[in-house]
Amino acid sequence: MIITITGDPGSGKSTIGKKLAQKLNYQHYYIGQIRRDTARKMGMTLAEYNKYGETHPETDSRVDEYQKKLGQEKDNFVIEGRTSWFLIPQSLKLYIAVNSLEGAKRVFKELQLDNQRNEDNNLKTVEAVLISHKKREESDKLRYQKYYQKDCADKNNFDLVIDTTELTPEEAFAKVWEFIKRLKF
- The pLDDT of 119-130, averaged and rounded, is 86
pLDDT of residue 118: 63
pLDDT of residue 15: 96
- Residues 27-84: tens digit of each pLDDT: 999 998 899 899 999 999 888 998 999 999 999 999 999 999 999 999 999 999 999 9
Q: What is the CATH number of the domain that holds 81?
A: 3.40.50.300
**What is the spatial distance between Cα 117 and Cα 77, in angstroms, rounded to a whole number?**
24
Q: Domain total for the chain?
A: 1
**What is the spatial distance between Cα 170 and Cα 105, in angstroms, rounded to a whole number?**
18
Q: What is the 3 state secondary structure string of 80-147?
A: ECCCHHHHCCCCEEEEEECCHHHHHHHHHHHHHHCCCCCCCCCCCCHHHHHHHHHHHHHHHHHHHHHH
Which H or E run includes 3? strand 2-7
pLDDT of residue 16: 98
**What is the spatial distance between Cα 2 and Cα 10, in angstroms, rounded to a whole number?**
23
pLDDT tops 80 at residue 184: no
pLDDT of residue 158: 97
- The pLDDT of 149-177, averaged and rounded, is 96
Q: Which of 60, 81, 69 is nearest to 142 (CA)?
A: 60
Q: What is the pTM of this model?
A: 0.90
The confidence band for 136, taking pLDDT boundaries of 50, 70 and 90, is: confident
**Please, what is the end-to-end C-alpha distance for the chain in angstroms?**
12
**What is the spatial distance between Cα 131 and Cα 141, in angstroms, rounded to a whole number?**
15
Domain that holds residue 42: 2-184
pLDDT tops 90 at residue 164: yes
Q: What is the mean pLDDT of the chain?
A: 93
The confidence band for 115, taking pLDDT boundaries of 50, 70 and 90, is: low
